[in-house]
Amino acid sequence: MHTHFFRPGYIRIIYVFTIFSFSACKKFVQIQPPATEITGSAVYSGSTSAAAVITGLYDNMISSPNLSSGFSSIGYLTGLGADELTNYDPTNHKQVQFYENVLTSFSNGFSNYYFWIELYNGIYVSNAVLEGLSNSSSVTAPLKQQLVGEAKFMRAFFLFYATNLYGDIPLVTTTNYLVNDSISRTPQAEVYKQIVADLADAQAKLPSGFVDANGNSSTQRVRPNQGAATSLLARVYLYTGKWDSAESEATMVISNSDLYNLDSLNSVFLANSTETIWQLQPTNPGFNTWDAFFYVLEGPPGPGGNSVAINPHLISTFENGDARLVDWVGAFPNGDAAYYYPFKYKVYQYGSAVTEYTMVLRLAEQYLIRAEARAAQMNITGPNGALADLNVIRNRAGLSSYSGLTDQQSVLAAILHERQVELFTEWGHRWFDLKRTNNLNTVMGAPGNVCQTKGGTWNSDWALLPIALQELKINPNLIQNPGY
C-alpha cells in the first residue's frame, strides 16, 4: 500500500461546476425547451456543430464532481451507502445521508435530487441530438451515423443508471415538454427494453475502432465505439438474467484482442490504457481526475478536507498477496493503524501532466460478466468455464487460481467477492451487485449489519433512492418510492 504524508503549503484547488450551454433546464423531466441552440435546427446544419453537442455531453460528465468522479459521483456516494467507504465529516449532509442510509426527498430547504438532474439532463440532450440529426440534411452521412450511435449509447447509459438507482422511472425519449411535463413512471422491464434497443442500434452504427469528433481514427479512447455498446449490453443482459446473451456479448469484447487487453494494475487507469473500453478525458489542463482529488489523503480524513476513507470491511476482504491491496489502496498513518483510501487514480496535484483519464468501461468487468453468466448456466470448469475467466482476473492480481470449486453457489460467491475487490468505488458496482444478487439486505441488515455499524438502521426500501420532492410537486403523475 502506498503511504502519502502531509506536504505543508499544498493547497487544493476549489472545484468549479462547469455548465455547458444546454444545461439551462432545471426541471429535467418536466421542462420546456431551454433557451439554447441544441433544440434548434441551426446547430445541426453542419457536421462540426452537431458533433460539438455530443462532445459537450462528455465534457460535462468530467468537468465537475457529479456522476462520473469525485465527491458527488455515483461511485463515491453509493460507496458510502454500501460497505466501501467510511464518512468522517458529520457536517456534510449528503454524505451523512448516504453513509447512514437515511436518505430523504427534502432536507435543509433543498430537494434532494442526488443524481436525478444529471441523469435526466443527459437523457434530454441525447434526445435533442437524435431529433436534430433526424431533421438534418447537412451533416455528412457517415458522421450522422456515428453521432446517432453515440446519442443512442448515451441515452441507454443514462437510463441504465437511472433505473438501477430509482427503479421504475419516467422513460423520456423526446424533448417535447408537453409529453415530459406529465409523464409517469415506466416499469423497469420496459425501460430495459428501450436500453437494449438503443444499444443494439448503437452497435450497428458505431465504428469498431476509436474515432474523434469528426469520425477520424484516433488513439484517444474517449468516444463510445462498438465495443462500448457491446460492453454495456453485456452488463444489461447480466442484470436481467439473460445469461447466454451476456456471455455472447462479453465474448465479443474479450475476443477483440487487437483493441482490448488486460493491463498491469498500475497502468489500468492511465489515459488510453489497453484495458480501456471507454474513458472520460479531463478538460482542464493540468488536472487529472476528481477521484484522485477527493480520495487521496494528505492528512486524517475529516471536515474541511478529504472526508472519506476505505471502510475496514472492504480492507478485510482482500486476500493475502492480493496486489490490488498494494497498488490500488493508499494509506495515511493513524498511530499504529492507518486510514486507507482508494488509490486507483494517483495524480491529484493541480498542475500535473495529464496522464490519467476517468474510467467508465474496462475489460476486467467483461471477464467477470462472462464468468458469472457461465456459472449461472452451470458451465463452471474447463477452459471455457466460469473459473477460467475468474482466474484471469485473480492471476493478474497475483493470486492463485481457484481449484476445487465445482458447485454453482460457491462459484457465484467467489465471483461476487472478486467484483468487490476489483471494481471497488467504480460507478456503484458494489451497490448494484448487492441489489441484483439479493445480498443487499443480508449485508446491510442482518446478519451483516453494515448499516448498523455506520449509525443507521437498515430498511429494505432504501435499496432505491427517493425522488426529489420538487419533482413530485411539479408532476402529479410521479409516485414516490416506498419508504420515503
Grid cell of 331 as nine digits: 494509506
Domain range for 215 is: 210-428
**Amino acid 7: pLDDT:** 29
What is the pLDDT at residue 41? 67
Q: How far apart are CA 96 and CA 89, in angstroms?
A: 8
Stretch 296-300: mean pLDDT: 96
Position 33 scores a pLDDT of: 40
Q: Across residues 306-319, what is the average pLDDT?
A: 97
Q: What confidence score (pLDDT) does residue 39 get?
A: 59
* 303-311: average pLDDT: 94
Distance separating alpha carbons of residues 471 and 468, to the nearest angstrom? 5
User: Does pLDDT of 203 surpass 90?
Assistant: yes
Within a domain: residue 189? no
Cα–Cα dist 468/146, whole Å: 35
Residue whose C-alpha cell reads 435533442 in the numeric block: 128
Of residues 405, 417, 465, the one with CA closest to residue 168: 465
pLDDT of res. 145:
97
Q: Provide the phi-psi class of 398: left if phi over 0, else alpha when psi is between -120 and 50, else beta.
A: left
Among 104, 198, 206, 217, CA closest to 156:
198
Across 22-31, 123-132, 145-154, least confident range: 22-31
Q: What percent of the chain has pLDDT over 90?
A: 80
Question: Span 370-382, mean pLDDT?
Answer: 97
Q: Is 362 among the domain residues? A: yes
Mean pLDDT score of the chain? 90
Alpha carbon dihedral 239, 461, 120, 59, in 10-degree steps, equals -70
Amino acid (one-letter) located at 474: I
Tell me the backbone φ, ψ of residue 39, rounded to 5 degrees. Answer: -95, -5
CATH number of the domain residue 287 falls in = 1.25.40.390
Comparison of pLDDT for 474 and 230, the residue scoring more: 230
pLDDT of residue 196: 98
- Asked whether residue 244 is assigned to any structural domain, the reply reads yes
pLDDT at residue 16 in the model: 30
Over the stretch 433-443, which tens digit does the pLDDT of each residue have? 999 999 999 99
Mean pLDDT of 131-147: 93
At residue 14 the predicted structure's pLDDT band, cuts being 50, 70 and 90, is very low
In the predicted structure, residue 1 carries a pLDDT above the cut 70: no
SS3 letters across the chain:
CEECCCCCCCCCCCCCCCCCHHHHCCCCCCCCCCCCCCCCCHHHCCHHHHHHHHHHHHHHHHHCCCCCCCCCCHHHHHHHHCCCEEECCCCCHHHHHHHCCCCCCEECCEECCCCHHHHHHHHHHHHHHHHHHHCCCCCCHHHHHHHHHHHHHHHHHHHHHHHHHHCCECCCCCCCHHHHCCCCCECHHHHHHHHHHHHHHHHHHCCCCCECCCCCECCCCCCCCHHHHHHHHHHHHHHCCCHHHHHHHHHHHHCCCCCCCCCCHHHCCECCCCCEEEEECCCCCCCCCHHHHHHCCCCCCCCCCCCEEECHHHHCCCCCCCHHHHHCEEEEEECCEEEEEECCCCCCCCCCCCCECEEEEEHHHHHHHHHHHHHHCCCCCCCCCHHHHHHHHHHHCCCCCCCCCCCHHHHHHHHHHHHHHHCCCCCCHHHHHHHHCCCHHHHHCCCCCHHHHCCCCCCHHHHCCCCCHHHHHHCCCCCCCCCC
Cα dihedral 180, 183, 188, 192 sign: negative
Decide if 23 contacts 60 (C-beta within 8 A): yes
- Average pLDDT over every residue of 305-314: 95
pTM for the full predicted model: 0.93
Nearest CA among 88, 94, 136, 134 for reference residue 111: 94
Q: Are 159 and 172 within 8 A, CB to CB?
A: no
Within a domain: residue 292? yes
pLDDT band with cut points at 50, 70 and 90 for residue 40: low
Residue 27 within any structural domain of the chain: no
Distance CA 129, CA 373 (A): 34
Taking the CA atoms of 427, 324, 331 and 445 in sequence, report the sign of the dihedral they define.
positive
CA distances from 423 to 123, 160, 169, 214, 322 (A): 26, 18, 26, 33, 14
Task: Tell which residue, 381, 386, 151, 416, has the closest CA to residue 246.
Answer: 386
Position 368 in a domain: yes
pLDDT at 38: 64
Per-residue pLDDT tens for 97-133? 999 999 999 876 667 889 999 999 999 999 999 999 9
How far lies 95's CA from each of 91, 302, 306, in Å? Answer: 9, 12, 12
pLDDT at 420: 98
Most confidently predicted of 32-36, 173-177, 323-327: 323-327
In whole angstroms, give the CA distance from residue 406 to residue 379.
Answer: 10
| pLDDT score of 181 | 81
How big is the CA angle at 150 (ends 353 and 141), to the nearest 5 degrees?
115
Closest CA to 128 of 216, 200, 225, 21: 21
* Chain segment 68-86, per-residue pLDDT in tens: 988 999 999 999 999 999 9
Task: Report d(CA 456, CA 437) in Å as an integer.
Answer: 22
pLDDT of residue 37: 52
State the total domains in the chain.
1
Kindly state the average pLDDT of the residues 47-54.
88
Supply the pLDDT for residue 156. Answer: 98
**Within a domain: residue 363?**
yes
* Angle at CA of residue 222, ends 221 and 223, nearest 5°: 105
pLDDT confidence of residue 2:
56
Nearest CA-CA partner of 72 in 287, 278, 284, 293: 293
In-domain check, residue 402: yes
**Mean pLDDT for the stretch of residues 27-38:** 44
